Structure 1
Amino acid sequence: MLSSLILIALLIAASAFFAMAELSLAASRRLKLQQLADEGEARAARVLQVQEQPGHYFTVIQIGVNTVAILGGVVGEGALTPYFDALLRPWLGPERAAQAGFGLSFALVTTAFIVLADLLPKRLSMNEPERVAMKLIAPMAALTLALRPLAAGFNAVVDALIRLLGRPERPDNRITAGDILALTEAGHAAGVVADAEQQVIENVFELDTRTVESAMTSRERIVYFALDDDEALVRTRIAESPHSTYLVCEDEIDRVVGYVDATDLFQRVLRNEPISFRADPSLIKRVLMVPDRLTLGEVLGQFRQAHEDFAVIVNEYSLVVGVITLNDVMSTVMGSLVNTADEEQQIVRREDGSFLADGITPVPDLQRALGLDEMPHAGQYDTLAGFLMVMLRRIPKRTDAVEWGGWRFEVVDVDSHRVDQVMITRLPA
């Protein structure tokens, strides 16, 4: 009996070894392994190599697991059943004692394998997958080398079956934006990533999906100068609407000449020099013009290429729809970390749980505030006002309302056909 128990213990240990080797490799995070490999950990590099082509590795594991399982059943039944039979025979009789002995032997061996060869090693592997995988990579590499011919034969059969089913033969290990976001969301749920940091990370990946219209200063809010504006008007406009940059136009906003930097104007004032755009065209700088369908990521590329931080946004009819600065893009990325007072007022949560939102609130900000995963007719609009127009199929008026995703969007203020304020309330369950 002692030798049988020792053999069963060895089989359990072997099964535990294969279980830990399998789960640790599958659960190991590639980013963590790559970081360890970059720090000089050779075992992490070997684990990464196996993850790239795990075919023989997992085949050897399955050979070991199934062999051990079969041997465990044979040895366990033969080792313990006679002793249980002899123990129970005085009370149950020969036939029932044999049946009960077999049942007890089966239950005991099965329980030992489930707990000690499966649950416990897998739990340990899940808790520290990279550490376990690096410890077991060397013995597994030796086993894989020894059983390589047998594993190659099994793999050839499996590859043929996979091709017959029309499925991919190799795993897709490319890291996507969704993978990174899922990782940061897990960190946020664990308290490692702060709320503001999580928002910044999400905003960075939205740069390639948000259009410039979601971050621009809209046409009606642009402060600009005409070429023939006199100095008194320029001074008054700067005092009333201080900005770092102003458009300069030929009479109307759609005839853009360029832009002027407020710093240059202030220097003129300090030196008591006259300000005249028509007489001194050197004040006017060439402005970057970008189409309204560009994403924020593409605008950043345009800024970098042109060495500018200010651009005019025009539509397909060459009409100005807004302006955007590098600071606007960065504010979109940084979110609540750098929001100005005006930006904070775009969507405000009220005490009763409802929201009061500006019509120009970008759709991603609206979704984040309301917890909406998707919006109807996505891609046809960029702001809350655009959403209402698409849903109503007309210019919204006061008291117009739209219901979507468990929320009611009611227009409460319209300023010259522009949706100014929208009340958003949750619908009853």
Structure 2
Amino acid sequence: MGTDLLLIALLIAGAAFFSVAEISMAAARRLRLRRLADDGDHRALRVITVQESPGHYFTVVQIGLNMVAILGGIVGEGVLTPHFAALLRLVTEPDRAQTIGFALSFLSITSLFIVLADLVPRRLGMNDPERLAMRTVGPMSLLTTLLKPLVWVFNGLSDGLSRVLGLPMQRDDRVTHHDILALTAAGALTGAVASEEQQVIENVFELDTRTVETAMTTRERIVYLSMDDDDALLRNRVAETPHSTYLVCGEGIDEVLGYIDATDLFQRVLLNQPMSLKACSDAGLVKKVLIVPDRLTLAEMLSQFRSAHEDFAVIVNEYSLVVGVITLNDVMSTVMGAMVAPHDEEQIIRRDDGSFLADGSTPVPDLQRALGIDDWPQPGQYDTLAGFLMVMLRRIPKRTDHVAWEGWRFEVMDVDRYRVDQVMITRQPTGAGAPAAHESS
């Protein structure tokens, strides 16, 4: 019995080795292995090589696990069944004792293999995959060489079946932005990544999907200077609404002539020179402005700024009407989010009762994060909360209009000349029924 128990222990150890080798190789992170390989650890390079073509490696693992399982069943039945049966004969008849003894022997051996040869080794392999993969890759390479004929046969059959079923033949190691966001989310849960840092990373990836309209200064808020404005009017406008850059227009805001820096205006004041824009234009201070379409994404806007060597642009729609202006600082504020925006400038504010007070120009991605809504109706037709309400109501929203969606109620609190100024967002009571497509008072 002692020899048989020793054999079972060896079989469990062998199965544990193959389990660790399998799970650690599958879970080992390529980026960490590459860093170890760059530091001179040749074992990490061997693991990377195996991961690029793991077919032979996992074939050996499966051969080893199945052989150990079969041998464990054969040996285990002969070791423990007679002893269980002998004990049970003291309380029951021999035939029944033999049957129950076999069942107890089977359960005991199976339990030992499940816990010691499968669960514990796999947990170890998941907790420290790179180190264990580097430790097992050497012995596994030796076994692959020794079992090469069997590996060749089984691997060939597996490859043929994979081709028939249309399964991928190689591991896909491409890292997508979804992988990066998942890692940062996991880091935020463990405290390794601050919540503000996680938000910045998410905002960076949103640059490819958010349009310039989500970050621009809208048309009605643009402070522009007219070419015919006299010195007194220019001084008052600059004093009342200080900005670093001013749009210069002709008859109206849609007749864009260029832009001028506030520092150039201040310099003329200090030099006792006239502030009239005609004089500034003659001096070359009115610069050509960058004009971009309103369907541009923020990532494309950054490329435009970089190629034009500008940090200020005018946004126009398909009818060549000005819809807003955007600066490089607007784009970077979108990326940095709450890390740079003061509290009184936040577009969506959480109240003590769990509701939200939001500006109508709040971008949909910001609402998605705050409310946890992943699916929005008719995506692509709007970029802001006001646009969402217009699409749902099929008209210009009025005060007290409300829309229900995904368990939230969006009620218009204030409208300023057809512009949705403030919206109260409250969670609907549980059991209120399915969210309505749209409701209005």
TM-score range (shorter-chain normalised) is: over 0.9
**1:250: which partner in 2?**
250
User: Which residue number in structure 2 is paired with residue 326 of structure 1?
Assistant: 328
Task: State how many pairs are aligned.
Answer: 428
> What TM-score comes out, normalization by structure 2 length?
0.93
Query: What does the per-residue CA deviation read over 1:182-237, in whole Å, with 9 as the maximum and x for residues that have no partner?
Result: 11111111122111111111101100000000000001101111112111111111
Moved more, 271-280 or 257-266: 271-280
CA contact (8 A) 2:51 2:171 kept: no
| 1:264/1:15 CA distance change after superposition, 3 Å | same
Please give the per-residue CA displacement for 1:228-261, whole angstroms capped at 9, x wherever unaligned: 2111111111111111111011121111111101
Cα distance in 1 for residues equivalent to 2:239 and 2:298: 31
1:124-203 alignment, distance < 5 Å = 124-203=124-203
Cα deviations by residue, 1:308-327 (Å, 9 ceiling, x for unpaired): 11111111111111111111
1:425 counterpart residue number: 426
List per-residue Cα deviations over 1:58-113 (Å, max 9, x = no partner). 11100000001001111111233334444544554543343333233222222221
- State whether structure 2 residue 298 is matched by structure 1 residue 296: yes
Provide Cα deviations, 1:102-158, integer angstroms capped at 9, x if missing partner: 233222222221121111111211211111111111111111222233212212212
Flag structure 2 segments of 5+ consecutive residues without an equivalent.
431-441
The 1:90/1:423 distance shift into structure 2, 3 A limit, reads closer
- Residue 46 of structure 1: how far off its partner (Å): 1.8
Q: Report what 2:80 is aligned to.
A: 80
Structure-2 separation of matches of 1:328 and 1:145: 61
**Deviation by residue 1:391-427 (Cα, 9 ceiling, x = unmatched):** 1111111111111111111112111111111111111
Calculate the aligned-residue CA RMSD, in Å. 1.6
1:9 and 1:303, CA in 2 relative to 1: closer, same or farther beyond 3 A? same
The structural deviation recorded for 1:163 is 2.2
SS in 1 for 2:403: strand
- Distance change (3 Å), C-alpha of 1:338 and 1:81: same
Offset at residue 330 of structure 1 (A): 0.6
Is 1:232 aligned with 2:229?
Answer: no
SS of the aligned residue for 1:290 comes to: strand
Q: Percent identity?
A: 69
2:74 corresponds to 1:61? no
Q: CA deviation at 1:341?
A: 5.1
Equivalent residue letter for 1:296: L
1:341–1:187 CA distance, 2 compared to 1 (3 A): closer
Report the CA distance shift for 1:237/1:341 in structure 2 as closer, same or farther (over 3 A).
farther
Residue 51 (structure 2) pairs with residue 51 (structure 1):
yes
Q: Distance in 1 between matches of 2:112 and 2:280?
A: 91
Counterpart residue type for residue 295 of structure 1: T
Going from structure 1 to structure 2, the CA distance change for 1:392 and 1:88 (only over 3 Å counts) comes to closer
**What is the CA–CA distance in structure 1 between the aligned matches of 2:204 and 2:330, rounded to whole Å?**
13
Find the aligned partners of 2:86 and 2:407 in 1 and give their Cα distance: 70
Gaps of 5+ in 1: none
1:25 partnered with 2:22: no
Say which SS state the counterpart of residue 242 (structure 1) adopts: coil
State the match for 1:98 in structure 2.
98
Is 1:113 aligned with 2:113? yes
What is the aligned partner in structure 2 of residue 365 from structure 1? 366
* CA–CA separation in structure 2 for the residues paired with 1:289 and 1:67: 71
Partner in structure 2 of residue 263 of structure 1: 263
Matched, 1:36 2:27: no
Normalising by structure 1, we get a TM-score of 0.96
Q: Distance in 2 between matches of 1:308 and 1:72?
A: 73
Identify the range of structure 1 (77-86 vs 379-388) with the bigger mean alpha-carbon deviation.
Answer: 77-86
- Hey, what's the Cα distance between the residues in 1 that align with 2:288 and 2:145? 68
Residue type at the aligned position of 2:338:
S
Matching residue of 1:355: 356
Measured in 1, the distance between the counterparts of 2:408 and 2:94 equals 74
Q: Are 1:2 and 2:2 matched, yes or no?
A: yes
Deviation at 1:173, TM superposition (A): 2.3
Q: Is the 8 A contact 2:364 2:383 kept in 1?
A: yes
Give the match for residue 305 of structure 1. Answer: 307
**3-state SS, counterpart of residue 278 of structure 2:** coil
